[in-house]
């Protein structure tokens, strides 16, 4: 896969067309297991343009000198991401109240 965390990407290309375009990423954890949150857009063949922003949390495991993909969770829309943020915020506020 990749030897360096900074080189890990969600970008996917076939021929000369970038089907998954990485917009940004945030490394959430490092070590033998790496967790990265990506924002990306997918190419819509019918519209011949990129769709709305989506998100993906990916986990990689270091094996030798390389990081191998092990799991992923896709957040399919900004609306779904907002719901996740709101719920996490509620949980964090409960912990702060204790």
Q: What is the mean pLDDT of residues 66-94?
A: 94
**Cα–Cα distance between 94 and 15 in angstroms, integer?**
49
Percent of residues, the chain, with pLDDT higher than 70: 97
* Number of structural domains found in the chain: 1
3-class SS of residue 8: coil
Global pTM value: 0.88
3-class SS of residue 52: coil
Per the structure, the complete domain to which residue 29 belongs is given by 5-97
Exposure string for 35-52, b = 16+ CB within 10 A, e = fewer: ebebbbbebeeeeeebee
């Amino acid at each position: 896969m990749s030897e360096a965390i900074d080189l890990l990407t969600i970008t996917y290309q076939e021929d000369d067309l970038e089907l998954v375009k990485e917009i940004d990423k945030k490394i959430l954890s490092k070590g033998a297991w790496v967790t990265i949150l990506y924002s990306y857009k997918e190419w819509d063949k019918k519209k011949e343009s990129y769709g709305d922003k989506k998100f993906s949390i990916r986990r990689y495991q270091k094996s030798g000198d390389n990081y191998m993909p092990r799991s992923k969770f896709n957040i399919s829309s900004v609306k779904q991401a907002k719901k996740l943020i709101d719920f996490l915020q509620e949980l964090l506020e409960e912990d702060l109240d204790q």
